[in-house]
Structure formats: C-alpha cells, structure tokens
Amino acid sequence: MNKFTELWKIKMSDWQRGLIIAILTTPLTIIYDTVTATPMVLTFDWKRILGAAIAGGLAYLLKNFGTGKEGNVLTNSPKSLVTGKVNNPKITN
C-alpha cells in the first residue's frame, strides 16, 4: 500500500492524519507554556493552544499537498529520476 497521495491532491487519510497532528500539538503547547512560565504554573491560553493546533494541522496538510506519489516534494517522478541514483539489486550466483 502506498502511503503517499498524488501531487496536488489530498485524500481522506491525509485529513485524518492532519487532525491527529492538531490534537497532538495541543499538549505540547500546554507543556511548553508551563515550562517556560516564570513561576512554573500550569496555564491554559486557549487562543494560543487553538492557534498552534490549527497551524500544526495545516502545515501537515500543506506538506502532503505538495508531496508526490513516492514522497518527493513537488514532483510525481520516481526517486531514481529525481536523484539520478538507480537501486541495483545484489548479484548472486
């Protein structure tokens, strides 16, 4: 199964993974704000948390939107054509 979508397309699985990234960004933002606060107090700045979650999810979707079938950025060409390297299988006798 190919986990990459075609270039300039987003599938439902990309939206689901973007949502997961947005959800996982939330506790990281809370932890960061708590650790960097002068008196180390658990704080919830909901505006900042929501902004970080939206930015994380959108960044993931934009990355997938500009990534081709084989994980190459801005191209659908095979990796061997992009890098110029060809994978040679081992020769066995």
pLDDT at 10: 87
pLDDT at 11: 87
| pTM for the structure as a whole | 0.67
pLDDT at 65: 87
pLDDT at 2: 61
pLDDT tens track, the chain, 93 positions: 567 777 788 889 889 999 999 999 999 999 998 899 888 888 888 999 999 999 999 999 998 888 877 777 777 776 656 556 655 556 555
pLDDT at 89: 59
List, in order, residues 6 or more apart from 87 with CB less than 8 Å away: 80
Q: What gap in Å lies between CA 12 and CA 18, rounded to an integer?
A: 10
pLDDT at 70: 74
Nearest C-alpha neighbor of 24 from the set 64, 59, 65:
59
Cα dist from 28 to 2, 23, 31, 41, 49, whole Å = 30, 10, 5, 15, 9
